[in-house]
């Protein structure tokens, strides 16, 4: 890694803008288990899509063990108003407001990202036959609690920032 670009508005005491870019010093060697992922378009919301979250995190919140091999689960993406309402039923309380920079997924018992998965991908397969990076694991209330979605950084909200850091127009992010 040559450079790390942390979002200028990220703060340790906040969950917003929890995103960074890494500039590599050499190209990645792609293989069957190592491949690129497409960035989403600004208008991609993914609500109603079944997406995959992967990571080496714990398999349960308090008592779980970290994985020795990468795990994956399929989670449904839910719209932000529904997510906000579900999260208000937790210890966050009825005045909690979900920031537009987040996307939510998962409500099934035991199916979620967990401690140690932070920054991992929420990948959505799209009709163009490619996976798109819808989100990055950000935070949640425990792990895999029924009707309590996991919360992810909404990558589409950061395309302008990615463009600024990479000095590439957003149109260059997509295959021709």
Residue 28, C-beta contacts closer than 8 angstroms, at least 6 positions apart: 34, 36
123 belongs to a structural domain: yes
Residue 115 has pLDDT above 90, yes or no: no
Write out the two tokens for 46: 């993914």
* Residue range 142-171, pLDDT digits in tens: 888 899 999 999 999 999 999 999 999 999
Is 135 a domain residue? yes
Residues 46, 52, 53, 56: what is their CA dihedral angle, to the nearest 10 degrees? -170
pLDDT of 91 > 70? The answer is: yes
Residue 171 lies in a domain: no
| 3-state class (DSSP) for residue 137 | strand
Tally the domains of the chain: 1
Give per-residue pLDDT as tens, 8-65: 999 888 788 999 999 999 999 999 888 999 999 999 999 999 999 999 887 766 677 7
Domain contains 16: no
Which stretch of DSSP H or E encloses residue 84? helix 80-88
Q: Decide if 163 is inside a domain.
A: no
Q: What is the CATH number of the domain that holds 129?
A: 2.40.10.10
Gyration radius of the chain over CA positions: 16
Asked if residue 17 belongs to a domain, the reply is no
Would you state the structure tokens that stand for residue 90, as one six-digit string? 């937790």
Q: What's the pLDDT score for residue 15?
A: 82
pLDDT of amino acid 125: 95
Give a yes or no: residue 8 inside a domain.
no
Smallest Cα–Cα separation from 57: which of 46, 47, 67? 67
pLDDT-derived band at 69, boundaries 50, 70, 90: confident
State which residues form the domain around 65.
38-156
In a domain, 133, yes or no: yes
């Amino acid at each position: 890694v040559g450079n790390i670009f942390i979002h200028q508005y990220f703060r340790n005491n906040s969950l917003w803008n929890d995103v960074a870019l890494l500039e590599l010093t050499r190209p990645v060697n792609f293989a069957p288990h190592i491949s690129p992922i497409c960035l989403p378009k600004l208008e991609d919301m993914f609500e109603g899509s079944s997406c995959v979250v992967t990571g080496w995190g714990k398999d349960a919140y308090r008592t779980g063990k970290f994985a020795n091999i990468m795990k994956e689960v399929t989670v449904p993406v839910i719209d932000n108003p529904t997510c906000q309402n579900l999260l208000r039923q937790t210890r966050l309380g009825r005045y909690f407001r979900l920031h537009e920079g987040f996307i939510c997924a998962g409500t099934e018992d035991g199916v979620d990202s967990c401690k140690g998965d932070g920054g991992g991908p929420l990948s959505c397969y799209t009709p163009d036959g490619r996976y798109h990076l819808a989100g990055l694991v950000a935070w949640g209330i425990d792990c895999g609690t029924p009707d309590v979605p996991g919360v992810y950084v909404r990558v589409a909200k950061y395309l302008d920032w990615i463009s600024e850091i990479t000095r590439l127009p957003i149109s260059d992010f997509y295959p021709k």
